[in-house]
Chains A and B, each alone.
Chain A
Amino acid sequence: MTATATATAPRTTAAATTRRSWGPRRLGKWGISLVGLVVAAIWAFPVYWMVLSAFTPNAYLRATTPSFLPTHATISSFRTLLGAGSGFWTALRMSLSITLTTVVLVLVFAFLGALAISRFRFRGRKAFVLAVLFIQMLPAEGLFIAQYKMLSSAGLLNNVIGVSVLYTAAVIPFTIWMLRGFVAGVPAELEEAAMVDGLSRSQAFIRITLPLLAPGLVASGVYAFLQAWNEFTIALVALPAQSSQTLPLWLRGFMAASASRGVDWAQVMAASSLIALPVIIFFLFVQGRMTSGLVSGAVKG
């Protein structure tokens, strides 16, 4: 409010003294910047509120007047969650096992696939690329009952490998597509030149090509990690036992258990923060690559 008041005051004087178009445009930019800050605040608020509530004692969260600043910060909610009996560590172990299995499988399989479609021209290549692009659009929601029946008849419900294979299949199409760009960016001539200089094929690959592909592999790995870590739909049907819950399922169960005696929002927000914060940090590393990967075709026209 004060900013708009001060912004309008010099406008008239500026317009009177300098070129007419200058003043309003510059001051208009300040007004727009203020709108930008408000938009940023609105978008960041839920995340801020989650973290703030996680560090506030539940009694204060239940007060009639909420506090918008950390006035009574405490880590007691986190202490309860990380202590024995909350189930957090069991769920974390399950999430990590599934996520890491998925990341390893995806990286190896997708890398080989990307190598095939970017370094070779072969019969059926176009059909394969077309299939990959369509498959990456298929929603888990249109497949998960069939996947549940498949796992249950194979006796693989509540099993790390079973879920990891489903996640791998879901993530591979996009990672092949993403890695293809990276592999194509390393010219085969570079490898051949190294071989002319006396390196063997595998040496040339390990010393020349692989280091150049590292950023692509990291981006693909983090993408696979995020997908598997956040996944809820398939986990819901494929991991029915409480002992095999991943973190998203655990958070849901934790909240349901808490709801029966009036939700302990401080603990629920602390649990959300524990799941979300590692992901947010990871995400900041790969987001540029993901945006450009999804719409690059359109940007280039």
Chain B
Amino acid sequence: MATTVGAPARQRRKPVTPYLLLIPAVAALLLGLGYPVYWQIVTSFQKFGLAQQFGQPPTFAGLDNYARIFSDSDAFAVVVRSIIFCLVNALITVVVGLLVALLMRAVHGWVKIVVQIAMLLAWATPVIAAVTVFRWLFDDRSGVVNYLLVKIGLTSYQGHAWLATPMSFFFVATLIIVWMSVPFVALSLFAGLTQVNDELIEAARIDGATNGQILWRILMPLVRPVLAIVLLLQIIWDLRVFAQIRLLQDAGAPVSETNLLGNFIYELGMARNNFGGAAAVSIFVLVLTIVLSAPYVRSLMKEDES
């Protein structure tokens, strides 16, 4: 008996099996991500100028491409703009998400389900569809937003072209991103809030705690770990915004004034054939992502060990 159970168990722990099982996944990762990263590191040290457009092999450029991210005024403007855009969007998303989560806790059961369904609708909408719908909502001639603004007396919005100037362009982009991202934040925080024991709240209330005290002294400390993680994830995700900006630019926005990091990489690589510059900015984005991800990955590793 002992031998029949023991034999396969020992066989399963043969050290070579796990490595065999990992081969396909590792091969796909090396091919799809590993080689591109390697190519990018090599290329980021190369110069792609006019001569390379005429078929010359690229020359070694040292750290020039990296230095240019900070010395070139165009590139540096993109970096600053992306970081500001990312932080503003992440903060708005998390604050609105927290308010929605607290709201879901306070409303009647059936209203909670209605809110949940509305959140899921927004979360599930593909980026391409979301941006297309917002372009329609903010259409200058027949868009419903301009119609409603004129209706409440703001007649200057008659035919207002939202996407034509950088500030209002980023306002619409922010609305899209917040609309798409709040559901994840709200539902995650709501899941965190449901872990809070109702008796605890009731006990606090009997002891004379006000709603404000319950919020700041009981609920907030308990959801702080989830709050930290979703804020971090939002910052990482909002740093990589590309499709929304690219698709909004199609409406005729000033491209160079509305580019974020991803769009800048696209322009360098695809339009200007400056692969060295594109590779350097890409590596910059990857390194930034890894640095920002470290606390999140640490929390997941803790889970893996338990």
**Which residues of A are in contact with B by a Cβ distance under 8 Å?**
29-30, 32-33, 35-37, 39-41, 43-44, 46-47, 49-50, 53, 61-66, 105, 108-110, 112-113, 115-117, 119-120, 122-123, 125, 128-130, 133-135, 137-150, 165-166, 168-170, 172-173, 176-177, 180, 188, 192, 195-196, 201, 229-230, 232-233, 236-237, 247-248, 251-252, 255-256, 263, 265, 268-269, 272-273, 275-276, 279-280, 282-284, 287, 291-292, 294-301
Contact = CB atoms under 8 A, between A and B. Distances in A.
A44 B133 CA distance: 12
Interface in B1-17: 1, 4-5, 8-9, 12-13, 15, 17
A135 B29 contact: yes
- Say what secondary structure dominates the interface of chain B: helix
Contact of A166 (B32, B100, B124, B269): B32
B69 interface: no
Of all A-B residue pairs in the complex, the 5 with the closest CB atoms, nearest first, are A169-B32, A141-B262, A139-B240, A146-B36, A283-B124
Contact of B29 (A37, A125, A169, A279): A169
The CB with the most chain A CB atoms within 10 A, among B1, B24, B103, B268, is that of B24
Interface of B: 1, 4-5, 8-9, 12-13, 15, 17-19, 21-22, 24-25, 28-29, 31-33, 35-37, 39-40, 43, 100, 103-104, 106-108, 111-112, 114-115, 117-130, 132-134, 136-137, 139, 141-142, 144, 147, 179, 182-184, 187-188, 191-192, 195, 225-226, 228-230, 233, 236, 239-240, 242-243, 246-247, 250, 261-262, 265-266, 268-270, 275, 278-279, 282-283, 285-286, 289-290, 293, 296-297, 299-304, 306
18 contacts: A30-B108, A35-B107, A49-B137, A50-B136, A110-B25, A116-B18, A139-B239, A141-B240, A165-B31, A165-B32, A170-B33, A230-B127, A233-B243, A236-B266, A272-B133, A284-B120, A287-B123, A299-B225
Contacts of B24: 108-109, 112-113
Contacts of A196: 1, 4-5
B201 to A, nearest CB: 12
Contacts of A230: 126-128
Contacts of B32: 147, 165-166, 168-170
A135 B33 contact: yes
A122 B15 contact: yes
Contacts of A116: 17-19, 21-22
Given A35-B107, A64-B147, A142-B265, 5 more contacts: A43-B182, A61-B142, A142-B285, A143-B286, A166-B32
A180 B236 CA distance: 24
A297 to B, nearest CB: 4
B124 A201 contact: no
The CB with the most chain B CB atoms within 10 A, among A248, A280, A282, A298, is that of A298
A265 B141 CA distance: 12
Contacts of A53: 136
B300 to A, nearest CB: 5
The CB with the most chain A CB atoms within 10 A, among B31, B124, B139, B229, is that of B124
A116 B32 CA distance: 21
Given A49-B136, A122-B18, A147-B36, A129 B304 contact: yes
A29 B112 CA distance: 12
A237 B278 CA distance: 14
A283 B8 contact: no
Nearest to A269: B136
A242 to B, nearest CB: 16
